[in-house]
Structure 1
């Protein structure tokens, strides 16, 4: 089984392309909403508040959304989320047209966009277990990795092109893509009803059920810990590189080229995932990817010219996706269907939690010498590698499917 079988799976294709539309639109809005706020207010603080708003929405709603996804029909959740996002995005040009636009409206939109995203992602993940056979979960996870890379490549580029024509066009395009996503996921044939809720379950118990499941499984516990630390380390490193390039007057074209280059590398790594996952254990691919990432980050402390940093980033992004896809397939395999939403929500919350701290710290450290500024992020990546190598549950991960 592999990509060929998945290409004939009608329901997986609807789910895949629906989420692709939503992610591409989301990447467009992330850039366009920040640019639109800065251009309409002339205030970088409002623009920063809009950038932070989506993360706040994600953090606040991740766990409650996981609970609700496990109670609601997953198809209805994805359709409703997409329609809600479309309405939110259309409200921006409408408010401007009638003369009631205000920066707080844009901040609120950003928060709500982040909040609604926490419903679609776990609903899609829970649906994957229904529309894909167990032996196809690893290839499906690799295809989803490639989809994310494509969306992150296309979204900002489309946003920039459309924004140059009119500031509202990227938001309207995202609204249209969400309508397409709603249509596509509505065409999925298998029932996506929520699993029966255990008798006597309580709301408070439901809120902590995802975290409790993670804590009880040694490999998942280690993966979540590594994800959180890596989110800080790698996310902070990317922010530091971008800010450092700007501070040293590296041309914007080079910065844009860097983002495109490591995005393409991630896509190539994801496309190689199904082939690699059929031949190697998840532990080999994951630990190998983490070690290469650690080596690349350490090398950046010495080889710190733009071309060298971009080459090391591309190598790091190339080797990670197969191992991450294997981990995602492992998570889907061991998580009961009635807990999929809550486990995905808890993992999302724990993974995203340190990202804003890393970005803020990068802004503080950018004025220091490069070897000193990179140290906290390099240390975090090194800790991730140490956990991966030392943890017996991670070393014991075999083939999936």
Structure 2
């Protein structure tokens, strides 16, 4: 093993609450800036491609080129993040994305860029995303004390929910005045801000890094994942929810309103409600502590049945907006519970690999779920798909609530002192019935 440096608490930070520390403030600004820019460019890039005369199929290729590296590289990136200094990887990813988006903005503002060049540039953004995510998730537990992780993740989630609302609006405004390249350029600036903030963080805390071969460490990460049954169940259900809840609501919702008067406006209201629900879920998580995190995870999954039932019943827009609030809150709480539980139950030196495996299921199934959802809707109809989705989500919740692992796992930093968990989620060397 050799020692590298990770951002940690300084003498000036000791005794302060987590939100007052220099490192966390810089980290919060970095993530908030980059997520705002990404939310802006999601709208701007789409319309910039179309405004240059490219077809919808070319747009699909561009978006796929940005998403593909995340799916392909996420697990290897997690293994690399557990070997190297995570902050350095994040800074490198920010600089790569900054350069790519900056060049894209310049090309979009001038002559028509070739499709090959455009695809190459957005692929680089995807590569940066693939390396940034696992490194970020592994760095958070270094910045905060174990007892503060839930609130740290809640604050970051609140920031993400707010930028998810503001970003598309700002991007849409810039597109409306004919300045899509400016929005893409703003995204490049936000990555630069993120890199500057991350570089300014103090690096005092030593962290152990493995010297084993890369392949050996990758397999070790798979073993760490496999030996935790609670983690397998949580990850599998998240992937299942991608298929049975996320895609049906997000795809069939706008489709069902497409031929209704003011359907686009109605879906815009529902989309805003989803963002409001995300803010609500993050706010509640700041103050609501539960001793059995997986029970809360299943509760959040059960909430997702509400919007599916309302959409299947063709409820009016106000009720669908309430369903959107439930949808947004449920997703945020699912993500918060998953991230915080992994951070508190998995050894720090394996965090990036475990988060990468979880993220691979969470994001890797998204294209498949969208394709399957559209195919099934064409084959049997929208209402039957939504009704069936609500049933299978509810059944999955009942099945997992009947599992012992769901109730055995307690909210405690079980591996903070080097102890490991057995396959059932119980901590070796600790009475699992006790909680913090």
* TM score, norm. by length of structure 1: 0.90
Deviations 1:108-155, CA, capped at 9 Å, x for gaps: 333322221121122122111111111111111222221221221122
Q: Quick one: distance in 2 between partners of 1:5 and 1:230?
A: 35
Q: Quick one: distance in 1 between partners of 2:45 and 2:206?
A: 34
Q: Quick one: distance in 2 between partners of 1:145 and 1:84?
A: 24
Match of 1:253 in 2: 265
Moved more, 94-103 or 325-334: 94-103
Q: Secondary structure at the match of 1:71?
A: coil
- Shift of residue 23 of structure 1? 1.4
1:180 to 166, 187, 193: 193
Match of 1:300 in 2: 311
Match of 2:420 in 1: none
Q: Quick one: distance in 1 between partners of 2:116 and 2:395?
A: 40
Higher Rg: 2
Q: Evaluate the alpha carbon distance shift between residue 32 and residue 388 of structure 1 in structure 2; reply closer, same or farther with a 3 A threshold.
A: farther
Match of 2:234 in 1: 223
1:341 to 352, 355, 373: 352
Match of 2:281 in 1: 269
Q: Quick one: distance in 1 between partners of 2:59 and 2:309?
A: 33
Kept in 2, the 8 Å contact 1:70–1:195? The answer is: no
- Shift of residue 97 of structure 1? 5.7
Matched, 1:285 2:270: no
Higher relative contact order (CA 8 A, sep 6+): 1
2:337 to 316, 326, 335: 326
Match of 1:85 in 2: 97
Q: Quick one: distance in 2 between partners of 1:180 and 1:259?
A: 28
Kept in 1, the 8 Å contact 2:30–2:198? The answer is: yes
Matched, 1:356 2:367: yes
Q: Quick one: distance in 1 between partners of 2:283 and 2:114?
A: 43
**Structure 2 stretches of 5 or more lacking a match?**
1-15, 414-436
Q: How many residues align?
A: 395
2:216 to 192, 196, 205: 205
Deviations 1:362-400, CA, capped at 9 Å, x for gaps: 333455533223256435523542343122212223334
Deviations 1:174-194, CA, capped at 9 Å, x for gaps: 001111111111121134776
Kept in 2, the 8 Å contact 1:219–1:393? The answer is: yes
Q: Secondary structure at the match of 2:208?
A: coil
Match of 1:234 in 2: 245
Q: Secondary structure at the match of 1:168?
A: helix
Q: Secondary structure at the match of 1:195?
A: strand
- Shift of residue 296 of structure 1? 4.0
Kept in 2, the 8 Å contact 1:71–1:194? The answer is: no
Matched, 1:140 2:148: no
Match of 2:48 in 1: 36
Deviations 1:257-304, CA, capped at 9 Å, x for gaps: 211111011111111102111x55323422222222224423432244
Q: Evaluate the alpha carbon distance shift between residue 272 and residue 98 of structure 1 in structure 2; reply closer, same or farther with a 3 A threshold.
A: closer
- Shift of residue 317 of structure 1? 2.4
Q: Quick one: distance in 1 between partners of 2:205 and 2:21?
A: 16
Moved more, 57-66 or 327-336: 327-336
Q: Quick one: distance in 2 between partners of 1:207 and 1:374?
A: 39
Kept in 1, the 8 Å contact 2:95–2:192? The answer is: yes
- Shift of residue 315 of structure 1? 2.0
Q: Quick one: distance in 2 between partners of 1:42 and 1:187?
A: 41
Match of 1:156 in 2: 168
**Structure 1 stretches of 5 or more lacking a match?**
none
Match of 1:190 in 2: 203
Q: Quick one: distance in 2 between partners of 1:50 and 1:375?
A: 33
Q: Quick one: distance in 2 between partners of 1:247 and 1:204?
A: 52
Moved more, 230-239 or 258-267: 230-239
